[in-house]
Amino acid sequence: MQRLFLTFFVISMLAIAGCGDDSSTTASSAGEESTAAEQAEAPEENEAPEEKEAPEGKKKTKPQVKPQKGAPPKQLVTNDLEEGSGPAAKAGDEVTVQYVGVNYKSGKEFDSSWSRNEPFAFALGSGLVIQGWEKGIEGMKVGGRRELIIPPELGYGPAGSPPAIPANETLVFVVDLEAIN
C-alpha cells in the first residue's frame, strides 16, 4: 500500500508540475532536456507492469450485507454486485481484496477487512483461504464487487471456527477485488 500511495503521490506532483507550458524543459541528470509532458509519463515506465489495480473513480465503502432469507444453498453462489472493468483473477495471481463476512443464519458479521482498514492480499489457488473464496474469486474482474454464499463444505465445515462461526455454517461474503499484483 505504501508503494501505491507513493506512486499516486509522485504522479500527482508531476501532473501539477506539468500543468504549465508544455514548451518548458528541464535538464535531466544525463544533461538531456525533456518536456513537462514527457516527465509526467515517466512514472508509468517505473511501475511494475504486472500490477493491475481498479480504475480510478468512485471510492468504495464498506458494504452492508443484506440478511438472507430461506434455506441456505447447497452449492457455491456468486453474484456480481458490480462488475469490474479490469483483468480477471486467475489461479496463481496475488490478489488484494476488501471484504465483509457474515453468518447466513444470524446475519452477524464475524470478520471484515474494512473494520481493520487493511485490505487482504493472498495468492489465489494456493490453499491459503477457504475453498469458497478460491472458487468464488477466480474470474472476478479488478474493480468488481461480488457476493459469495459459501456452503459449509467450502467454508469451515463441521469444525466451524468458534466462537464466531458455528459448525456447518453457511457464510456470506461481499468481496471487492482491488488489485492483481
Largest CA distance in the chain: 71
Residue 113: what residue type? S
User: Is residue 71 in some structural domain?
Assistant: no
87 and 155 housed in the same domain: yes
User: Is residue 169 in some structural domain?
Assistant: yes
Among residues 148, 160, 170, the alpha carbon closest in space to that of 80 is found at: 148
Looking at residue 52, its pLDDT comes to: 57
Q: What value does the mean pLDDT take over residues 20-49?
A: 39
83 and 167 housed in the same domain: yes
Among residues 101, 128, 120, the alpha carbon closest in space to that of 112 is found at: 101
23 and 98 housed in the same domain: no
Whether residue 85 is predicted with pLDDT greater than 60 in this model: the reply is: yes
Which domain does 35 fall in, by range? 2-47
28 and 82 housed in the same domain: no
User: Is residue 161 in some structural domain?
Assistant: yes
- What pairs with residue 161 in β-bridges? 165
Using CA of residue 54, residue 56, residue 57, residue 58, what is the dihedral sign?
positive
**How many domains are contained in the chain?**
2
- Domain with 86 in it: what CATH number? 3.10.50.40
Whether the model clears a pTM of 0.75, i.e. scores above it, the answer is no
User: Is residue 62 in some structural domain?
Assistant: no
CA distances for 175 relative to 9, 42, 52, 172, angstroms: 27, 33, 17, 10
Residue 140: what residue type? M
User: Is residue 4 very low, low, confident or very high in pLDDT (cuts 50, 70, 90)?
Assistant: very low
User: Is residue 6 very low, low, confident or very high in pLDDT (cuts 50, 70, 90)?
Assistant: very low
Looking at residue 10, its pLDDT comes to: 34
CA dihedral 43, 45, 49, 53 (to 10 degrees): 30
34 and 91 housed in the same domain: no
Q: Which residue has the higher pLDDT, 139 or 20?
A: 139
35 and 88 housed in the same domain: no
User: Is residue 56 in some structural domain?
Assistant: no
User: Is residue 172 in some structural domain?
Assistant: yes
Among residues 99, 142, 141, 96, the alpha carbon closest in space to that of 123 is found at: 96
What percentage of the chain has pLDDT greater than the value 70? 68
Whether residue 96 is predicted with pLDDT greater than 60 in this model: the reply is: yes
Using the structure block, give the residue that is written with the C-alpha cell 474469486.
137
